[in-house]
Every structure is written in structure tokens, then in C-alpha cells.
Structure 1
Amino acid sequence: MRDSRILSTLKERRLPPVAAKSTPQLVFDACQTGVMLRAVLYVETVIGAALLYVTSDAVDWLLGVALITAAALPATLMWLVLGCSLKHLLGRLPLGWQVAAGVVLGALAGLFACGLMAWLDLVGMFRPGAQAPWLASAVTGMLLAAGLVAGMAWRVRGRTPAATAARLVELQSRIRPHFLFNTLNSAIALVRDEPAKAERVLEDLSDLFRHALSERQDATTLGAELELARRYLDIEQVRFGRRLRVEWSLDERVSGARVPPMILQPLVENAVKHGVEPSPSGAQIRVSTQLRNQSALIKVTNTVPAGQGKSGHGIALGNVRDRLRLLYDLEGGFRTALVKDVYQARIQVPMPKK
């Protein structure tokens, strides 16, 4: 199989031990693109709904939306910029203090919007003779900010149960009885003639169980995930022999990218299940990574028997997509494609900022 580039090969190394540590969870994270888009749409929706109460026709409503947006949009962007700039400081605070900080910044944004309206005389254009609503603007900013921060908190709280449920489903798929039995049978067959190889198979199987059952944070490094995928494919290599042909083309520059735990496991499993198992001649699996525009691209590509395509319910792929969305929102991506009996799953995640 051909790929866009031939990249460096990842060196063999032992998986690092999983360290359990408790750190404050960042809720008020305004740096993500999805959060910014939702914040602007949320504020504009509230403005449009509120103006329905005080306008008589569509022209007045459109004029009101335009005038208030001229002040509300810069204020919203200011709230997002301040929240993003204070991200690391806020991340060290308890949840309650993060919410309070977001609400206070919302009040400041409301006052900023009111100041813009007074400076541009937008209040007089919309309601002649009216005074600048300072108190109302501050309260409105606080309420809007409270809604936005509550949405962020709900999203963060949804990560843990969703990730746990995804891990359980993946665990049921990964440690299937026939996979476990086949691995143990392969090890038993090797004990007499190749005891060292049998020991390596059992060690790899033990690592798979240990990492599947261990408690983890929301994210791990791509390098650790690649090593875990390598161990799984090493086990299957013993079972399938020459039918399983694996190629690695990895870029060390992206090994520090953050990804959800066990995110590659269902992809390499699918490659074995749908590529190698149904084909008498086996299949070729290619795992590649590369750095592109400050993003890490991870591709798992495999050949499939002619005319068979991909079967199954897509549960594992749906879990991959959902977990990436929970971790990175719109900044992460997951795509699959089948072209001329070659199937590819591609993950894209942003690189950590230095």
C-alpha cells in the first residue's frame, strides 16, 4: 500500500506505567473553536429572541439585531479572549470558582457592550431618548455567561461516563472469548518449541488487559497508544503468521499528541477482523502518523477481500468518533473510506501548544 510519505519508524520500548493522579479539571475552557462558535450563536439567538418582545415588524427586528450585535459581538469575543488567556490560572481553581470567574467576566463583558452602545449612540438610534442600560447589561452578561459556563461544565462532566462506557464496549469487543482462547492456544503451542516467544505473547496479552482495566485520565499520548497497538498486532502475528503483514510508518514528532485512551485498539482490531480473517491470502495493514499543519494525522489502512467491503454494526467506529468529539470538539476529526478494496480510518487531533 502507498501512503503520502515514508516516515520514521517508532522504536520498540516498554509501555510506561499508568500513573494515577488527581488534578483539577478545567471547565471554563474558551480556547476551543467549537466553544467560540457556540458562544456567538448562543448570544445571537438570545438577542434575536429577546427583540421579538419589543419590535413590531421584521424590519424593526432586523435593525435591532444589527444594532445590538454591533456591541454584543465584540463583548462576546472579549469574554472568550479573557477566558482563553486565563485558561491555565482558572484550571487550578475548584469548579465553583471557575463558574464564578466566568460569570464575573460576563458582567464585565456586559458593561463593555453597554459602553460601546453609549459611545456609538446605538441606544438612541434604537430607542430615542433612552439612557444606557448599565445595570441591565451587566445582569444580562452574567446570565449569558452563566449559561455558557454551565454548558461547558455539562460537557466536561459528560466525558467521564461516556469514556467509561466506550471503554467497556471496546473491552467486550477486544477481549472476545475466541481472541483470548486463540492467544492462549498459540502460547501453549509455543511453550515446548519456542518458550521465549510464548512468554512474549503472554506478556503482550497481560499488557492489553492491564491497560484496558486500569483507571486513566481523559487523554494519553499517541506514542503509548501506538505501542499498545503494536503489542496487539504482535499477538495476532503469532496466530496468522504470513497472512498478517504489518507496515509501520511513524513520525516521532507527533508521539506526544494527546488522544483518548484505547483509541487505536478498535481500529487495528477491525483491520484484522475484516481484512485478515476472511481472506485466505491474508491482508496488509499499515499504521502511519505524520505532522501536518500543527495537527497529528493517524491512519490505519488495510486491504480487504475483493467485493466484500466492510461489515459489522460500526459500534467501535462510533465510539472512536464520539470520544474524539468529547475530547477535542470541532478541532478533532475522524473519517473512514473504502476505495478499491483498501479501507482507511483517519484520526486528526491538534498538537499540544508549547
Structure 2
Amino acid sequence: MTPSKPPAGFGESTLYGSFIPGEEAAPAAPARAGMFDVCHVGVVLRTVLLVEAVVGVGAMFVSENFQDWLLRFSLLTGGVLPATLAWLIAACSLKKYLNPLGASMQWVAGVLLGALSGLYGCAMLAFTGMLKSPPWWASAAAGALLSAIVLAGLFWRAKALTPAATAARLDELQSRIRPHFLFNTLNSAIALVRAEPVKAERVLEDLSELFRSALEDPAESVTLAQEIALAQRYLAIEQVRFGERLRVSWNLDPTADMARLPPLLLQPLVENAVRHGVEPSASGAQLTITTLRRGATVVVKVTNSTPGGAGERGHGLALANVRERLMLLHDVQAQFKTALKDGVFQVRLEIPA
């Protein structure tokens, strides 16, 4: 791991390119969440469990006792499980062709894939000799019905992931820069204009980049490196305000830089650490940001000391929103934990590399 460099100065490369006064950056096109984005462990697991639960309940209607139910359930699973996995593999492989389709065509394609998968499962049971008279039409209908149920869940998941749909719920987190932060930053810049004009210029540049990132159209995800650069700009501004009270340590692993995060996710965690660790303490606080890649997982930690070992209690809205956005993007592959121990508060994220 290597410590990061300080934030870029005026005229240097910024988070989204060089900042030139008077030049407007083209807004990034918002990413569109797809209905067939099933290439996630959580989606696969829930789909398999749902189908198996439906099969298990259905087997109860024709079973005389537990042993009979277990035999029928095992028999049906031999066809249903491969059919379900075939549907998931097909949907994952064809998503770049299916996601651009209109909503109606997506439903038709998904249901047809389900019918074909049902026929595939029936064919497997017939091929192994487990079915003397294969119920082809019933298998196709069952596959179509189960795929429609799964598609309904995927539809609402895609809707939740769409930036336009989540904008209202995430407004508190992405409600741009807090007014008192803007007021304090401008006061700091004004105080530096005559004594240290270059430093004042850098503060205003960092502030403009924060606003640009907050106001542009949201993408589904950005790299960890981008989030770190944005957090560095925020802390550079707060460093001017708090001086020696804000002590920052960066322990960054370059191999973790390409991990994906929802936009504007790390900066609120850093801001939360400043607000509850540095602001209420006359002596300030130590803030540490750590990234580390461990195989296929990237660990991100934001740690801050707290005044009197307790810190200032907040409402937890920022942390709750961060947790929700992280789970929307990475599902069960992400972990979000907080802990307060021995006067040190830590937020720990685990995301796919």
C-alpha cells in the first residue's frame, strides 16, 4: 500500500478532467439499469430459491406423506433446477441484446425464454427415463409462469437501480453541498484572497469540482479512484478551515482503484467523520481512509477518533443512505459495517474488486 498524493492544484488534472474557467463540461449520460441484469450472486440465489419453493409447495398437493413428497420434490428438482439455471445463463448472456428492447418486448422475450427452459427441464427428465409421458405443454406453461414471476422482481429491481427512480430517496445524500459548508468554504476563501491568493484559488477550484460532481446526471457507478479524488478535494477544503485540528492519513492500495461504487458514496462518509469527529472537538480528530484489495474483494475503511470517546450523535441518515445505495449496486456481494470501539468510530465497506 502506498500513501496517496495531495489533491491536484489549480490547472492540474481533476476528477473529470482539467478545470478551465468558463468551460462547461458535457453532462454524463445516466446509466440505464437493465431488467435482465441477472449476473449477480444475489439474483441467482433468490431466483433458484423462489423456483424451488414453488416446486416444493406444488409437490405437496400430490403427495401422501413426507417420504412421497421428498421423492417427488427430488424428481422435479432434477428438471427444474437445470431449467432455472439455463434461463439465468441465457438472460445473462443475452442481456446486451434484451435490455435495449422496449418493456413489452422484454416481457415477451423473458416469458419465451421461460417456456423454452421449461421444455428443456422436461426433456432432461424424459431423457433420463424419469417421465414415461412427458408433460410438454404443462412444462412450457410452468416455465413461462415462473419466469414472469422472476421478471416482476427483476423489473422492480431495475426500477430501483435507475437513477431517475432513486433520485427522490437519495436526495438527502446527494442534496448537493450543505449550506453551512458552502458558507464556511467561501469565508475561508475570502480570508485567503489577499494573504494567500494561490491557496484561495485552489479552495475555490476544489469547491467547484464538488459542485460539478453533485449536480451532474448520476451514473450507476464510478470507480473507487474517482471517489477518492473527490474525497481528497473535500478534505482539502476542510483542512483550510480546521487546520491542525484535522489530521488526515491515507493508506491506499492502487490495485483496488477500479472497484465500482455508487457515485458520491465515499465523500459523505468522510464528511460524516469530519462532522462528528472534528467539529465537536477542540483538539480535533485523526481521520484515516484505507483501501485494500483481498483477492476478489476490496475493503474500504473510514476511521475517525471521537471527542471524549463518544462523538456527536447524529440521525444516521447519511450512513443509512450509503448502505442502501451500496446494496442496490452490489446486492449480497457488498457488506457495510459500523463500529465504535475505544473512542474510534469506523465505517467498513466490502465490495467486489
Give the one of 21, 38, 60 matched to 1:30: 38
> CA 1:283–1:230 in 2, change beyond 3 Å: closer, same or farther?
same
Hey, what's the Cα distance between the residues in 2 that align with 1:233 and 1:54?
Answer: 65
Q: Which residue of 2 aligns with 1:273?
A: 275
More displaced 10-residue stretch of structure 1: 86-95 or 328-337: 86-95
Q: Which residue of 1 aligns with 2:107?
A: 99
Matches within 5 A, 1:107-146: 107-123=115-131, 131-146=133-148
- Write the deviation string for residues 214-240 of structure 1: whole angstroms up to 9, x where unpaired: 112211222221111111111110110
Letter in 2 for 1:99: W
Q: Give the gaps of 5 or more residues in structure 2.
A: 17-24
Q: Which residue of 1 aligns with 2:203?
A: 201
- Write the deviation string for residues 223-278 of structure 1: whole angstroms up to 9, x where unpaired: 22111111111111011000001111222222222211100121001110111112
Give the one of 38, 41, 49 matched to 1:41: 49
Instruction: Verify the 8 A CA contact 1:163 1:323 in the aligned structure 2.
Output: no
Q: Which residue of 2 aligns with 1:15?
A: 15
> CA 1:341–1:32 in 2, change beyond 3 Å: closer, same or farther?
same
The secondary structure found in structure 2 opposite 1:71 is helix
Q: Which residue of 2 aligns with 1:65?
A: 73
Q: Which residue of 2 aligns with 1:75?
A: 83
Deviation at 1:117, TM superposition (A): 2.1
Deviation at 1:318, TM superposition (A): 0.7
Hey, what's the Cα distance between the residues in 1 that align with 2:31 and 2:265?
Answer: 22
> CA 1:48–1:88 in 2, change beyond 3 Å: closer, same or farther?
same
Hey, what's the Cα distance between the residues in 2 that align with 1:310 and 1:276?
Answer: 10
Hey, what's the Cα distance between the residues in 2 that align with 1:58 and 1:50?
Answer: 13
Letter in 2 for 1:76: T
Is 1:165 the equivalent of 2:168?
yes
Q: Which residue of 2 aligns with 1:247?
A: 249
* TM-score, reference length from structure 2: 0.88
* TM-score, reference length from structure 1: 0.88
Deviation at 1:291, TM superposition (A): 1.6
Displacement over 6 Å in runs of 4+: none
Matches within 5 A, 1:202-217: 202-217=204-219
> CA 1:10–1:94 in 2, change beyond 3 Å: closer, same or farther?
farther
Q: Which residue of 1 aligns with 2:98?
A: 90
More displaced 10-residue stretch of structure 1: 331-340 or 95-104: 95-104
Hey, what's the Cα distance between the residues in 2 that align with 1:289 and 1:166?
Answer: 28
